[in-house]
Amino acid sequence: MVGWGLASVLGAIGAVLVAPQLFISPGMLDFVLVYALASAILGGLDSPAGAVVAAAFIGVIENVAGTYVDVIGNDLKIVVPFVAVILILIVRPQGLFGRKVVVRV
Amino acid sequence: MSKLLKSRLARIVGVIVLAVALIVAPLVSSPFVNYQLSTVAVFAVAILGLNIIMGYTGQVSLGQSAFLGLGAYIAAYGLAEGWSIALILLLCAAIPALVGMLVALAAARLRGLALAMITIALPIIGVPLARRFSDFTGGSQGATVSWLQAPEWSGLANDQWRYYTVVIIAVIAFVLGRNLVRGRIGRAFAIVKGNESVALSMGVSPYRYKVLAFTIASLFGGVAGFMYLAIVQYTSPETLNFFTSINLVAAMVIGGSASILGTIIGAFYYVLVPLFAGSVNSSQTALISGAVLLAVLFLLPEGIVSLPRRIRQLRPSGRTTPGAPGPAADDRATGDPQTSDDAPADGGGTVRTTASPGNTK
């Protein structure tokens, strides 16, 4: 319960911070859902710092690749972070900074 | 013994009623109704694939729309090249299955949210790729085709002919899917879902069966894409949109996961509820659909397919004993009364209840 509340608070703060830079519309943050999920999982679900690092990584790699690699260009730039996330998850299933969870049977 | 005979008889009658309903329906309905029924068949196959990976094997997959779109694009490309329809259908099944298997070979090591992440990336990557490779896909405009015209000798209208085509494919898919989940492989899926360590100790490789389930799910997704193109005659990058995947997952959960009957109900839900919401108030379609979704999940957490069981639980007289002469309709609704009473919680019970899908009609 508290977790849901905190998640909503943090989401709202994020929206308040980004709203002055964008137009507000009901669907404006639809895609943030996916990016947020990607960065949380990439960073490791039990590591808040990891989420920050991963979010920066995703944002930077997407735009750097989109700008400097001609083949990718503006339309394919969204592919880059997701392919990177897939490759990293295959090597490290628990995310970059996550701890390995061992379940007792 | 006589009860067994009776339930088998009820099953046969149910199948016959269903078959007659499926055959007669397009002849007496308007083209609009036929179109909607055909769409239900299309998404029923897509949800069947999703149910095999999520409901029966317990792995998260949010990528079904990518395979749907892939199948639709393969069909559109094949038609443009003038291949025969049988070859196109084969490729629509084989190529998505291959892609799904390659993804699963890497992804099946993961579980939970990491797996969700990889599968959700498929449609997200797929949409810009479909736009980019416009030679193959027609770019943002999409690909329009005109095919499956009713031949002269059949005396049918185009919509009826297409209805029969997709319904035949859907029935075959459902028979195959049902046999799959009720056989040896289905039991292996169930144990992989239940506990992977137990599966391993019983000589069932979780990894191998997860890859298999994912491959089959992609195969059904691709076939659904073929059917989608047959009905809609148009595909665009929006077909792959990941919101479609999420809606498919929602429809599967609402219908009832790990249940063939639930899959069919889910497909009806997927097609009809937005239609119903649009007819109530066309500007608030999404709002009303969302309200229906929440209502169903609050009242029936196990999906609509659990409705008869739920009613029986709520009734003050309590459980009807298997031998008791309950209302005939009720018996038929749950197929085999014995299984539905004995095992309400696990997947096996719900699978059995699909024995006579006739009562959904």
Report pLDDT digits (tens) over A27-49. Answer: 666 777 788 888 888 888 788 88
Report pLDDT digits (tens) over B198-213. Answer: 999 988 999 999 999 9
Which pLDDT does position A104 carry in this prediction? Answer: 66
Query: Tokens 């055909």 appear where?
Result: B38
The structure tokens listed for A33 are 């859902």
Mention every residue, 6+ apart, whose C-beta is less than 8 A from residue B122.
B63, B66, B67, B103
How many residues are recorded in chain A?
105
Q: Which residues of A touch B132 (CB under 8 A)?
A: 75-76
**C-beta atoms of A90 and B117 within 8 A:** no
Residues of chain A with pLDDT under 70: 22-23, 25-29, 103-105
Partner residue opposite A76 with nearest CB, options B106, B128, B197: B128
**C-beta atoms of B114 and A95 within 8 A:** yes
**C-beta atoms of A90 and B107 within 8 A:** yes
CA distance B228 to B267: 13
Which pLDDT does position B166 carry in this prediction? Answer: 92
Counting other chains too, the contacts that B203-211 makes at CB distance below 8 Å and 24 or more residues apart are B207/B108, B207/B109, B209/B57, B209/B185, B210/B57, B210/B59, B210/B104, B210/B108, B211/B101, B211/B104, B211/B105, B211/B108
CA distance A13 to A8: 9
The secondary structure of B38-67 as a DSSP string is HHHHHHHHHHHHHIIIIIIT------HHHH
Break chain B into its structural domains and give their ranges: 26-147+155-239
* DSSP β-bridge partners for residue A69: none
CA torsion sign, A31 to A32 to A36 to A39? positive
SS (H, E, C) B199-257: HHHCCCCHHHHHHHHHHHHHHHHHHHHHHHHHHHCEECHHHHCHHHHHHHHHHHHHHCC
pLDDT tens for the 361 residues of chain B, in order? 577 788 889 989 988 998 998 888 888 888 899 999 999 999 999 999 999 999 999 998 999 999 999 999 999 999 988 889 899 999 999 999 999 999 999 888 887 778 888 898 899 888 888 888 888 888 778 888 888 888 888 888 888 889 999 999 999 999 999 999 999 999 999 999 998 889 999 889 999 999 999 999 999 999 999 999 999 888 888 888 888 898 899 999 899 888 999 999 999 999 998 888 888 887 888 888 888 888 888 888 888 888 888 888 887 654 444 444 444 444 444 444 444 444 444 444 344 433 344 443 3
With CA atoms as reference, the chain B residue closest to A41 would be B114
CA distance B361 to B349: 21
**C-beta atoms of A45 and B113 within 8 A:** yes
Query: Tokens 């298999």 appear where?
Result: B212
Which pLDDT does position B327 carry in this prediction? Answer: 45
Check if the beta carbon of residue B194 is closer than 8 Å to that of residue B201: no
- pTM of the shown model: 0.81
Contact residues of B toward A, CB < 8 A: 106-107, 109-110, 113-114, 116-118, 120-121, 124-125, 128-129, 131-132, 195, 197, 242
Partner residue opposite A82 with nearest CB, options B110, B124, B131: B124
Check if the beta carbon of residue B70 is closer than 8 Å to that of residue B196: no
The structure tokens listed for B53 are 């990976």
**C-beta atoms of B129 and A76 within 8 A:** yes
CA distance B187 to B217: 17
Query: Tokens 């001609």 appear where?
Result: A70
CA distance A85 to A59: 12
